[in-house]
Amino acid sequence: MASENPSAHSGGSITSVLQETRVFPPPAAFAEAAGIKSLDEYQKLWNWANDDNEGFWAEQSKSLDWFKPWDQVLDWQPPFAKWFVGGQLNASYNCVDRHCNGPDKNKAALIWEGEPGERRVLRYQDLQREVGKFANVLKGLGVKKGDVVALYMPMIPELVIAALACARIGAPHTVVFGGFSAESLAGRIQDCKAKVLVTADGGYRRGKIVPLKVHADGAADECPTLTTVVVYKRTGHDIEWNEGRDRWWHELEAEVSADCPPEPVDSEHPLFILYTSGSTGKPKGILHTTAGYLLQTSLSSKWVFDLKPDDTYWCTADVGWVTGHSYLVYGPLAQGATCVMFEGAPNWPDEARFWKIIEDYRVTILYTAPTAIRTFMKWGDQHPRKHDLSSLRLLGTVGEPINPEAWMWYHSVIGGGRCPIVDTWWQTETGAIMIAPIPGATPTIPGSATRPLPGIVPEIVTKDGKPVGDNKGGFLVIKKPWPAMLRTIYGDDDRYKAQYWSDIPGCYFTGDGARRDEHGNYWIMGRVDDVLNVAGHRLSTMEIESALVSHPVVAEAAVVGKPDEVKGQGIAAFVTLETGQAPSEKLRQELRAHVTKEIGALARPDEIHFTDSLPKTRSGKIMRRLLRDIAAGVESTGDTSTLEDLGVLANLRRSEQGED
Ligand code: 6R9
């Protein structure tokens, strides 16, 4: 997400009104068996990393396999970092080959289910063979170390295979969400000057074919650097074919050997570019490099998910999003884990699909997003109740602040009250999880991401960079460089400096508001651009939304400011209701009273709009900026390319006009 300019906002602090006191210590049996077993053990690790940051990371780096050891842990020329300077390694070797030297070669690496119901299991040695073959295909197409390859694929194993094949030959990949338009795809390919695009004829989503190849063709026509489009046959439906440019995946593969030695690359060799959109301007190509990224995604997978050899781990994120990169591909595979991968939508053929997958594969760890959890709540408990979820031992969430109500539902209905929940705060830019509970050590609290991982030093500050102290909201910054940090915005060092390192002196600015309580727990309050300023009080959208969501009939809520002559900003809330509930004037008054009771009159919405759905990004984040425009009655001008469903906006505008 974009980090926006904090100096555009008055003052440095944000008033926090959320009062959450429920605390869940790690279950004793969980802690007993966990990798990190106590808060004390966690604290020792964190202190070690804080006191001797480079020594700590030097020691951790031994968990990777190196072709050549590094000479220097960190070369820090702010804001440009180089980690493990002089070392050489290969990410695909670390994620695949090193698990093939012993009995793990027969362990499942990927358990895949397609939306129509097909199943495939790839053991680590199958992955090695497939990655080797596709790496040779890329080489045969003239892809060299350093050349960028674009991947525009459905959620099929070939997406993971293609990404690892790129890493194998030192070609940075850029994965573009299968839901993006031809135009968005073209913009990204043009920016990174990819020569090869890998796509599929189509993918499945809610029983329909997503015509990826049509979009790929639209994009390719606009991209002069692109010489080849490799097409994987997923659906088998008829597609247009551009002779000379288009090549079938299976035909290319039939001609190559599976043996492709991994190319040793420097620690700082680019691993991938992932585009993330800002509220203004063109998408930013976030650049991640090899060693630091791999080390930190791998370690955080182990710490936060407490991965064990017999776990069946399911991260529901699309690989087109950073969560898919770090916690479906690189982190868990570097750990030699067994990962479930699912192609389709959670409500196809019905609303119980996720729960059926958990039962069928005996999934032990589930990692998903608050938006999904709130949607499951809305659909009702009867769907998860139909399935045996007793295999689950740990639950995770990422992407947005999780409302305490949704946390409690996840805990009791999905986790059966026995599974710790890891609420993981991080960003495309941070590469890896930064603030999250260690499930065997950290007491969890609904709505708090709890504590920073070892090696991570956050602070909450005013816009001048002064710490605000306990229990005051402010800007969340990171004070020390960390191995998985972005290295730059691809091709634009100046934008990198201006975006992340200029506003608050000497720190990385995350763009998020947060509060730290007296126990050292962090509470993320949302993007600072979304903060409301009501009669001089700066209020976090998340806290008012959580109060609304705690009402039994509310499924989701998005709160935005709207111009108000008296108060500066008034509060407008957009609310979706649980399935089967109907909007009414009475309910509107009841919800306003509910927020007054939960928080106080200060936070009472001036307006409540009932709607069937909220505008969200493809990764499930509510796009409040668009709602702000609707509430203010103005046209939206910013980038809408990441919006999941344009129809939602049109509906909202229509109902707004109807309401006046
Ligand atoms: C991984 C990912 C980053 C932004 C981030 C913040 C929000 C992510 C969160 C969270 C509260 C959490 N965010 N995780 N807010 N609690 N556990 O989501 O990356 O798509 O780049 O978004 O998402 O606002 O700054 P990305």
SS (H, E, C) 559-628: EEEEEECCCEEEEEEEEEECCCCCCCHHHHHHHHHHHHHHCCHHHCCCEEEECCCCCEECCCCECHHHHH
Whether the model pTM is above 0.90: yes
pLDDT, tens only, 539-550: 888 889 999 999
Atom of ligand 1 nearest to the CA of 276: 21
Atom of ligand 1 nearest to the CA of 1: 21
Q: CATH second-level architecture of 28-192+266-515?
A: 3-Layer(aba) Sandwich (3.40)
623, two tokens: 């796009």
- Best residue among 272, 297, 621 to mutate for probing ligand 1's pocket (most ligand atoms within 8 Å of CB) is 621
- For atom 23 of ligand 1, the residue with the nearest CA is 399
Ranges for all domains in the chain classified under CATH 3.30.300.30: 535-658
612, two tokens: 């069937």
Atom of ligand 1 nearest to the CA of 423: 17
The answer on whether 323 is annotated among ligand-binding residues is yes
User: Does the structure show a pLDDT above 60 at 8?
Assistant: no
Q: Which of 449, 470, 584, 453 is nearest to 526 (CA)?
A: 449
* DSSP secondary structure of 110-165: EEEE-TTS-EEEEEHHHHHHHHHHHHHHHHHTT--TT--EEEE--SSHHHHHHHHH
User: Does the structure show a pLDDT above 50 at 265?
Assistant: yes
How are the residues of the chain apportioned to helix, strand and coil, as percentages rounded to the nearest 5?
Answer: 35, 25, 40
pLDDT, tens only, 279-332: 566 889 999 999 999 999 999 999 999 999 999 999 999 999 999 999 999 999
More confident residue, 319 or 650: 319
Q: Which amino acid is at 182?
A: A
Mean pLDDT of the chain: 93
The answer on whether 554 is annotated among ligand-binding residues is yes
Q: List phi, psi (to 5°) of 268.
A: -90, 10
Q: Which of 414, 477, 415, 421 is nearest to 445 (CA)?
A: 421
Cβ–Cβ under 8 Å, residues 392 and 256:
no
What is residue 420's predicted lDDT score, i.e. its pLDDT?
A: 98
Q: Which residues of 254-278 are buried (b: 16+ CB within 10 A; e: fewer)?
A: eebeeebebbebbbbbbbbbbbbbb
- For atom 10 of ligand 1, the residue with the nearest CA is 400
Instruction: Give the distance (Å) from ligand 1 centre to CA of residue 295.
Output: 21
Q: Which of 151, 154, 157 is nearest to 129 (CA)?
A: 157
How distant, in Å, are the alpha carbons of 214, 273, 449 from that of 217? Answer: 5, 22, 42
Instruction: Give the distance (Å) from ligand 1 centre to CA of residue 426.
Output: 5
User: Does the structure show a pLDDT above 60 at 3?
Assistant: no
Mean pLDDT across 343-354: 96
Cβ–Cβ under 8 Å, residues 6 and 528:
yes
- Best residue among 274, 427, 527, 624 to mutate for probing ligand 1's pocket (most ligand atoms within 8 Å of CB) is 427
- Best residue among 14, 400, 475 to mutate for probing ligand 1's pocket (most ligand atoms within 8 Å of CB) is 400
What is residue 602's predicted lDDT score, i.e. its pLDDT?
A: 85
- β-bridge mates for residue 247, sequence order: 230
User: Does the structure show a pLDDT above 50 at 441?
Assistant: yes
Instruction: Give the distance (Å) from ligand 1 centre to CA of residue 72.
Output: 31
Question: CA 620 to CA 493: how far, in whole Å?
Answer: 29
Question: CA 101 to CA 634: how far, in whole Å?
Answer: 61
Q: In what order do the strands lie in the sheet with 270-276?
A: 246-248, 228-232, 196-200, 149-152, 173-175, 270-276, 284-289, 488-489
The answer on whether 128 is annotated among ligand-binding residues is no
- For atom 5 of ligand 1, the residue with the nearest CA is 427
The answer on whether 423 is annotated among ligand-binding residues is yes
Query: How large is the ipTM?
Result: 1.00
297, two tokens: 């995604």
What is residue 195's predicted lDDT score, i.e. its pLDDT?
A: 94
- For atom 12 of ligand 1, the residue with the nearest CA is 425
Q: Which amino acid is at 27?
A: P
Question: CA 288 to CA 326: how far, in whole Å?
Answer: 11
The answer on whether 136 is annotated among ligand-binding residues is no
Instruction: Give the distance (Å) from ligand 1 centre to CA of residue 369.
Output: 10
The answer on whether 157 is annotated among ligand-binding residues is no
Pocket of ligand 1 (CB under 6 A): 1, 276, 322-323, 398-401, 423-428, 449, 510-512, 524, 527, 619
Question: CA 184 to CA 455: how far, in whole Å?
Answer: 36
Do strands 196-200 and 228-232 pair parallel, antiparallel, or not at all (unpaired)?
parallel
According to the CATH classification, is domain 535-658 in 3.30.300.30?
yes
What is residue 6's predicted lDDT score, i.e. its pLDDT?
A: 41
User: Does the structure show a pLDDT above 90 at 598?
Assistant: no
Ranges for all domains in the chain classified under CATH 3.40.50.12780: 28-192+266-515
